[in-house]
Amino acid sequence: MSTTTSSKFFPSQGSTNLLVVAMMVMVSTPAGVQARIGGGVRDKANKIPRHLPPVTTCFFNPNTDLNVPNTEPITLGNADGSFTCGRGANSPSCEDGEFRYCNKVICEKTGSCDNVKVLGTEDTTTVVECSGKDSCLGLQTEYVDEVKCTGKDSCLGSENLGLLGPVECSGKGSCAESLFAVQSSDQEGVSVTCSGKDSCEGSDIQIPGFVDCSGKNACLDASINTPSSVILPSVRDSFFPIDIIYADCVEMTSPSDGCTYRAFYAPRDTPDPVDCFTIAQQSCPTV
What pLDDT sits at residue 130? 97
DSSP 174-232: TTTT-EEE-S-TT-TT--EE--STTTTTT-EEE-SS-EE--STTTTTT-EEE-SSEEEE
CB–CB of 3/179 below 8 Å? Answer: yes
What pLDDT sits at residue 230? 81
Tens of pLDDT along the chain (287 residues) come to 444 443 333 443 333 333 323 233 344 444 332 322 223 333 344 444 444 444 468 899 887 665 555 566 788 888 889 999 976 555 678 888 899 989 999 999 999 999 999 998 877 899 999 999 999 999 999 999 999 999 999 999 999 988 999 999 999 999 999 999 987 666 778 999 999 999 999 999 999 888 998 888 888 888 888 877 787 765 443 334 566 665 656 666 555 555 555 554 544 444 444 444 443 444 545 53
Residues in a beta bridge with 250: 230, 263
With the C-alpha atoms ordered 163, 166, 170, 176, is the resulting torsion angle positive or negative?
Answer: positive
CB–CB of 114/140 below 8 Å? Answer: no
CB–CB of 223/4 below 8 Å? Answer: no
Total-model pTM: 0.68
